[in-house]
Structure 1
Amino acid sequence: MTTLLTGEKNTKTLVLASGRAHPELAKDVARELGVDLLPTTAYDFANGEIYVRFGESVRGTDVFLLQSHTAPINQWIMEQMLMVDAAKRASARTITVVVPFYGYARQDKKHRGREPISARLMADLFKTAGADRIMSVDLHSAQAQGFFDGPVDHLWAMPILTDYVRGRVDLGNVTVVSPDAGRIRVAEQWAAKLGGGPLAFVHKTRDITRPNQSVANRVVGDVEGRDCVLVDDLIDTGGTIAEAVKVVLAAGAKSVIVAATHGVLSDPAAQRLSECGAREVVVTDTLPITADKQFGQLTVLSIAPVIARAIREVFDDGSVTSLFDGNS
């Protein structure tokens, strides 16, 4: 814990606790903040039920509960909700759910009748559990911020990713490529960070009845002879990105670097990405990248500094938006 003196009689105490999904990231965030993680006991009963208990009092504190929704995703979501409930019943002053990767974020609207809006349900569940605030990195769609009845801090990994990629390409010969027309706005922001070069996008078709499948048809824009940066928010099975890389290279690109915030990397992503022709695949560690998901071209950047700075701004009643030049 860390305590901040705010007056002669009043103090505020920051508490950072973590579930079991991504302990390495939690330790890195704690190190950046200069605090110790709250001792927490968590285990599974034989029938799959989860037990959670905090090892120290959180009464009157500002609690930040960090859990990234990695596989098995439903287990870790439930564990985080139990942590929220435990903090609420232990009389925490405020409870902020820190979700580097927000589960079910892709299910943010109804494509067909009789479907749920799962991203909204997630927000409702956290609110009911007792969360006052949600903090997440690069939500799949901006409207998900409106699903939660309370403050939502939408953090961006773009500064970390662009700083790294800037040193890996010829800025006078770079084209930023969106994997589909729907992410052109993000590609524009990337292009501005990389010197204002041209844009392109991959025209693709998707069958909404078949998950994790799409067909990359052709490149719209000039990529011939250029260093291309293919940007997206997440890579799951890698099919979309791998096909997009092949299409861009077939259109004459000199090289392709893939950059994405969330490396879900469900099987067979590692194989697809290692064989698609990309010079490098860059992601952050919002999700754990286990040994079976790693491959030669993969680079993993730490998101801990971004999360730690945002937590500090919230705790200090500062501005999270100021961390991202108004882009959050």
Structure 2
Amino acid sequence: MTKCDGHLTNSIDLGIIALKSSKELGKKIDAHLRKRLDHDETFLISSDEIRFSNGEGKVKLSETVRGKDIYIICDVGNYSCTYKMFGFENHMGPDEHFQDIKRVVSAIRGKAKRITVIMPLLYASRQHRRKGRESLDCAIALQELERLGVQEILTFDVHDPNVQNAIPLLSFENLYPTYDIVKTIIREEKDLDINKDSMLVISPDTGAMDRAIYYSSVLGVDVGLFYKRRDHSTIVNGKNPIVKHEYMGRDVEGRDVLIVDDMIASGESVFDIAQELKKRKARNVYVAATFAFFTEGTEKIERFYEEGLISRVYSTNLTYISDSVKNAPWFKEVDMSELISVILDKLNKNTSIAPYLDATRVITKLLNERE
């Protein structure tokens, strides 16, 4: 039994296995947990991710996990992780990271009290549903983790939350970084007036509309929408190219604009929308995304920043971001490690995390304190 906030709660030994892809995030989570619990020793359990010269691999745990509440953290989007294969240097992709998660579960060999997998970026989340004769990767992956004995999955801002229907008996928690993003924007943008007359929230497409409506509701501002007209007769890099962005919403002239989305991949949609907003005489264009990939590089966004088309990009440290991006004047990182540490503490003590699934109350309090 552990005493917490004057109450006795059930808890068991906690262990964090942060794979190579999430070492930095794992260390930050561990530091917050140790401070929160006034605990001297680390919760991190060391592991070795070994690669053979033909590309095969294995994971070896360096200490016991018997009876522990184990949390496996893996960033399936960390392309900076490399290994040698036949003399070539290979960058790890999502498939290889996911395989390492399964290797860890296999190495645990059923000795842990409970296994929770934390994939901030859910594996294969962009291939979550079928359109014709194609694979259904995310659902299959979730079912595979369930068969391996994983009891809970934690993720952030999943592309389509309905994918959890593939594992109806498994605990699946989809968290959002809204509060931390808003808090960081308020801290960094001292001159930003958050009111209906000065600001708008913009959804870059119909799929992100629910997210934009939530942001606009908690911030107390209006929302606008850009609709993507695509050329469905051709496919480029797995997608139908966008022909034109059509805007629906209030006049943006003289207003600050916040574009919100779950991810920035190549960034083309954001770039096009920023240009359209500036044509309509928007004052400042800010971008907030849970995940920032910049799959096509950052040259274009750097030019947009220099030309005043984009004022700032806010994104989390839930997936890998290069040092050059972290240190760029147009980018601000939103640290999510403290929230994850709180969630782990609550789960370990078998207490509810419901208050952390809806950030409305804390955002309202934050805005009131700002005033």
State the alpha-carbon separation in 1 of the partners of residues 56 and 249 from structure 2. Answer: 52
- What secondary structure, in the 3-state scheme, does the structure 2 residue paired with 1:104 have? coil
Q: CA deviation at 1:320?
A: 1.6
- The one of 187, 194, 204 equivalent to 1:171 is 194
Could you say which residue in structure 2 is the equivalent of 1:37?
Answer: 44
**Percent identity between the aligned chains?**
23
State the alpha-carbon separation in 1 of the partners of residues 286 and 166 from structure 2. Answer: 33
Q: CA deviation at 1:279?
A: 0.2
Could you say which residue in structure 2 is the equivalent of 1:319?
Answer: 352
Could you say which residue in structure 2 is the equivalent of 1:23?
Answer: 23
Q: Does 1:204 align with 2:224?
A: no
Could you say which residue in structure 1 is the equivalent of 2:322?
Answer: 290
AA matched with 2:194: L
Q: CA deviation at 1:142?
A: 1.6
AA matched with 1:79: D
Could you say which residue in structure 2 is the equivalent of 1:61?
Answer: 68
Q: CA deviation at 1:302?
A: 0.6
Is 1:65–1:98's contact at 8 Å kept on the other side of the alignment?
A: yes
State the alpha-carbon separation in 1 of the partners of residues 314 and 223 from structure 2. Answer: 19
Could you say which residue in structure 1 is the equivalent of 2:313?
Answer: 281
Could you say which residue in structure 2 is the equivalent of 1:193?
Answer: 218
Q: CA deviation at 1:305?
A: 1.2
State the alpha-carbon separation in 2 of the partners of residues 256 and 135 from structure 1. Answer: 32
Q: CA deviation at 1:288?
A: 1.6
Q: CA deviation at 1:11?
A: 6.2
Is 2:179–2:359's contact at 8 Å kept on the other side of the alignment?
A: no
The alignment yields a C-alpha RMSD, in angstroms, of 2.2
Count residues in correspondence: 319
Could you say which residue in structure 1 is the equivalent of 2:294?
Answer: 265
State the alpha-carbon separation in 2 of the partners of residues 229 and 77 from structure 1. Answer: 33
State the alpha-carbon separation in 2 of the partners of residues 185 and 38 from structure 1. Answer: 39
- The one of 134, 146, 157 equivalent to 2:165 is 146
Q: Deviations over 1:71-111 (max 9, x none)?
A: 32221111111112222x15111100001111210111112
State the alpha-carbon separation in 2 of the partners of residues 133 and 264 from structure 1. Answer: 26
Alignment of 1:186-265 (within 5 A): 186-194=211-219, 196-206=220-230, 209-210=235-236, 211=238, 213-222=241-250, 223-265=252-294
Q: Unaligned regions of 5+ residues in structure 2, if any?
A: 35-41, 80-92, 361-371
Q: Does 1:48 align with 2:65?
A: no
Q: Unaligned regions of 5+ residues in structure 1, if any?
A: none
Could you say which residue in structure 1 is the equivalent of 2:120?
Answer: 100
AA matched with 2:334: L
State the alpha-carbon separation in 2 of the partners of residues 312 and 214 from structure 1. Answer: 44
Is 1:216–1:247's contact at 8 Å kept on the other side of the alignment?
A: no
Q: Deviations over 1:214-239 (max 9, x none)?
A: 34423211212110000001111111
Q: CA deviation at 1:146?
A: 2.2
Please, which moves more after superposition, 113-122 or 10-19?
Answer: 10-19
State the alpha-carbon separation in 2 of the partners of residues 76 and 289 from structure 1. Answer: 16
Please, which moves more after superposition, 316-325 or 251-260?
Answer: 316-325
Q: CA deviation at 1:191?
A: 0.9
- The one of 299, 302, 306 equivalent to 2:335 is 302
Is 1:85–1:130's contact at 8 Å kept on the other side of the alignment?
A: no
Please, which moves more after superposition, 214-223 or 243-252?
Answer: 214-223
- What secondary structure, in the 3-state scheme, does the structure 1 residue paired with 2:48 have? strand
Instruction: Calculate the TM-score normalised by the size of structure 2.
Output: 0.81
State the alpha-carbon separation in 1 of the partners of residues 186 and 270 from structure 2. Answer: 20
- What secondary structure, in the 3-state scheme, does the structure 1 residue paired with 2:21 have? coil
Is 2:76–2:121's contact at 8 Å kept on the other side of the alignment?
A: yes
State the alpha-carbon separation in 2 of the partners of residues 50 and 126 from structure 1. Answer: 19
Could you say which residue in structure 1 is the equivalent of 2:363?
Answer: none
Q: CA deviation at 1:272?
A: 2.5
State the alpha-carbon separation in 2 of the partners of residues 131 and 214 from structure 1. Answer: 40
